[in-house]
Chain A
Amino acid sequence: MKEISLYIDGRMVKCPEGSTILEAARLKGIEIPTICFHESLTPPGLCRQCVVEVEGARVLLPSCITIVREGMVVTTDSPRVLRARKTILEMLSATADLSEAPELEQQIKAFGADPQRFRPEEEIKTGPIVDNPFYVRDYGKCILCGKCVQVCSEEVQLSYALTVAGRGFDSRISTFYGKPLPDTSCVFCGNCIEVCPTGALKPRKEFENDI
């Protein structure tokens, strides 16, 4: 396979053709934070936390889905990048309870994000949904990374029980018509729990133990 050379943060990186910037950076041990990215799933390029600055590009590019080109010059920690990441975290924490998302809490600290910045005056209340014997869906903790939908559909289970409903600010993870899980095609494999980064999906026993 052809090898591509590029510069990331001033360092020359060689990687196979077709790699993403994120993969190239990780080859050299250069850390780029991610949220919706999961190693065994197709990167959806949703959250934009992994954005980087590429010379000649008008906007910041998501490194998880941007393919490297010969001679590319990438900066992963420019002020513009850092400000974008900080703002993304502030927007996510505006409406989602991240108290069980240790990796995100760490990022909030690292980027100096202010979780209060965009918080609505009135707290948006979404109680946990306990509609089956196995696991609980607490969408108050959901950041819409979409990984649960990915594993429920094409990426792993091919059960298609979970989906994204609504548009824009009203987007949410749901079942079709918001039906209780036992009335859907869900087979309770729980593979969605495995990829949830915020504790929004949790085995019922753990949930009951925590309250």
Chain B
Amino acid sequence: MTYDRKTSTTCPFCGVGCQIDLNIRNGAIISAAATPGKAPNYGRLCVKGRFGTDYTHHQSRLTKPLIRKELDRGKRTTCGMEGFREATWDEALDLAAQRISRTVQESGGSAFGTFCCAKATNEDNYLFQKFVRAVLKTNNIDHCARLCHAASVAGLQKALGSAAMSNSIAEMKDLDLFIVTGSNTTETHPVISTYLKEAVVKNKARLIVIDPRKIEMADFALLHLQHKPGTDVAVYQAMAHVIVKNKLYDKDFIDRRTEGFEDYMTSLEAFTPQWAEEISGVPAGKIEEAAKLYAGAERAAFYWGMGISQSVHGTDNTLSIANLALMCGHLGKPGTGVNPLRGQNNVQGCSDSGGLPNIYPGYQSVSDEESAVKFEKAWKTSLNREPGLTTLEMSDAIGEGIISDFIIMGENPLMSEPDLNKARKHLSELKNMIVIDIFLNETGEYADVILPAAAFSEKEGTFTNSDRRVQLVRKALDPPGEARADWEIICELAGRVGDKLDRDYKESFSYDSASQIWDEMASLVPAFGGISHKRIEEEEGIHWPCPDSSHSGTPYLFSDTFPRGRGKFHRLDHTDLSERPDGDFPYILSTGRVLYHWHGGTMTRRSVLNDISPAPFAEIHPDDALRENLADNSRVIVSSRRGSIELDIRISDRSPEGVLFIPIHFAEAAVNELTRDIRDASAKIPDYKICAVKIERASSAD
């Protein structure tokens, strides 16, 4: 036998939430395999889950608390390990608590900006937001959902009143027709992509891909609408136009379940397929065909990713999809629905657990008096009614002198925020920065105190996957060195901040186990009322909402009603690109991911995955390469009005002419040096997918 024992747990990468067995030999993960027969992956894994968990054993794991050697010497600068000294937990926690309590006393809670973590467990995040709300008395808490599906959430909240994926992964086999848009599914959600491909190949489902890039899913599609980046609303409005004009909508569903259709219908007159062709470059005939296929399907579902949401009009993109689903009655039955595919293992759960500035756990509004009183009673303290700031607003608030302290659990804004020059400038102006993480990443390099955390394989808890399935995370190994589970660190910190402020938080931050933390959250969140660690163990995962112990969970949403009552149609307008290419910056830059890496790369760049994908690249169309006189693998500098990065090109016709594609994972050529911090008005999500850039041969290449 090549391993001594195995532990079944939940994969730490994307939002599919695959069940994996970690095979342990000599105190380390030697290999991983799919847990046989278990949902949602039923024996399947992708390269990241199967081979990528070795990052947990990387030599650069943080094993001891670190304190910046030169504290409070004016403007903070970045430093590597050499700028920190090791400390005991007592010293580091006391110092962190002292710095935090000083700010509480001097400036109050509004001086804090805090980020919780879509990679940490529900229990870690519940406790972190409890710390922020109950101890720091602020709602300034957010996480990277703001930078990924915020616009999907905003749009679906407006249209339906709930933003989670409406269907379970298991239903994919029942698809009759589905539209994949703004999602490079085979690379970002590989296991889900196998079900989608299977639906096409085995079950004769029809697939329409609506995406500017020729992604692998397009190979399986009946139709590929390759629209110009940023023209999504035009395409979807034109599809709605076709459906209305040909009376292909579901009148019965519209009457029973929706509102605002008459008004919406009259707004569609000008949005003809010919008009959309002018804007999007998609032939009018293809738009008509797609509309007729979607409306005529018995069961149809949308699946989308960052291409829809990471846009200055991301909310409108989402609404344009919701309009179509409502119009055709493709909601509330198995195999029909609207499905934002979640990018992180626990981005659903992090939001569910209250990691957002306007809500307590379970989406209960912080400004709603009844909810606030409920949480005040439970947490035995007073709470702030004012909704907090979002991720980028917190960054802005540093520049405005409002926020002086950042507390960051496991996030890496210096890779993930747009316009990194600006983001760095803001962080350098902080008075105090406390980081909880497993590695020293680009953000940690600005911290004063770094507290070493346990990785997913070293703690207990739960992750909630993309289809709202709460699943167990089990401890396979002890954390390295002195690292501790995030929730334990938060409890320690809360107690010590309390001591310094003469308040007692020890009792309300005292837990024996992650399961006890879950129970506290479940007692406060009606949708979790019937879920406990024990029950998840027995039933191998439960889809919320699950209000009581006799309820079996909810695999698909909206069967009888929408959370907001009737589904609401929204009038929309096409808005132009936020930054158009011009003579100086003639290309559109689009960002995205590759199969072998994950987000900011903190984990996968420290894994065997990096061996096969070791370097950044810019994907460029052959005609553009010819025009720029560039051969494959040429070294180039790509610049925008905000910054520039140096990397190699990869010539490919996956991206259309005039569009450069650069993945987001590589710190040495961080594409967010180039992106622009302009945000969707309601979702506050930045326009990652579009900015204007130029490309030049790097001088080092000559």
Residues in chain A within 8 A of chain B (CB atoms) = 40, 132-135, 154, 156-158, 182, 187-191, 193-194, 202-206, 209-210
Contacts and interface: CB of A to CB of B under 8 A. Distances in A.
23 contacts: A40-B43, A133-B51, A133-B611, A134-B50, A134-B612, A135-B51, A156-B194, A158-B197, A187-B186, A187-B190, A188-B51, A188-B612, A189-B50, A190-B47, A191-B34, A191-B45, A193-B33, A194-B43, A194-B45, A203-B30, A203-B50, A205-B54, A206-B3
Contact of A189 (B23, B44, B197, B611): B44
B40 to A, nearest CB: 14
Contacts of A190: 45, 47, 50-51
A133 B614 CA distance: 12
Nearest first, the 7 closest Cβ-Cβ pairs linking A and B are A133-B611, A203-B31, A188-B47, A190-B50, A206-B2, A158-B197, A134-B51
Interface centre among B23, B51, B190, B609 (most CB of A within 10 A): B51
Nearest to B28: A205
Interface in B16-45: 23, 25, 30-31, 33-34, 42-45
B198 interface: yes
A156 B193 CA distance: 10
B595 interface: yes
B33 A194 contact: yes
Nearest to B36: A194
Contact of A205 (B30, B34, B194, B609): B30
A38 to B, nearest CB: 10
Interface string B192-210: 0010011001100000000
Contacts of B608: 133-134, 204
Contacts of A209: 2, 25, 30
B43 A206 contact: no
B46 interface: yes
Given A157-B194, A182-B612, A209-B30, A189 B45 contact: yes
Nearest to A134: B51
Nearest to A102: B1
B595 A187 contact: yes
A203 to B, nearest CB: 4
A210 B2 contact: yes
Contact of B201 (A154, A188, A191): A154
A134 B43 contact: no
Given A134-B51, A188-B612, A206 B30 contact: yes
Given A158-B197, A190-B51, 19 more contacts: A40-B42, A133-B51, A133-B608, A134-B51, A134-B608, A157-B44, A157-B194, A158-B194, A158-B201, A187-B190, A188-B612, A189-B44, A189-B45, A189-B50, A190-B45, A190-B47, A191-B44, A193-B50, A203-B50
Contact of B46 (A189, A203, A204): A189
Contacts of B54: 205
Identify which of A156, A205, A209 gathers the most chain B CB atoms within 10 Å of its CB. Answer: A205
A37 to B, nearest CB: 15
Interface centre among B23, B50, B201, B609 (most CB of A within 10 A): B50
Contacts of A189: 44-47, 50, 190
A204 B595 CA distance: 19
A132 B47 contact: no
A194 B42 CA distance: 12
B44 to A, nearest CB: 6
Contacts of A182: 612
A54 B45 CA distance: 40
A154 B202 contact: yes
Contacts of B33: 193-194
A40 B50 CA distance: 19
Contacts of B43: 40, 191, 194
Contacts of A191: 34, 43-45
A162 to B, nearest CB: 15
B2 A187 contact: no
Contacts of A135: 51
A120 B188 CA distance: 48
Contacts of B202: 154
Given A133-B608, A134-B608, A158-B197, A206 B47 contact: no
A134 B31 CA distance: 10
Contacts of B197: 158
Nearest to A151: B44
A157 B196 CA distance: 10
B628 to A, nearest CB: 27
Nearest to B596: A188
Interface string B395-420: 00000000000000000000000000
Contact of B44 (A132, A156, A210): A156
Interface in B41-78: 42-47, 50-51, 54
Contacts of B198: 156, 158
A204 B51 CA distance: 9
Contacts of B31: 203, 205-206
Nearest to B46: A189
Contacts of B186: 187
A210 B23 CA distance: 14
Most buried by B among A182, A194, A204: A194
Nearest to B23: A206
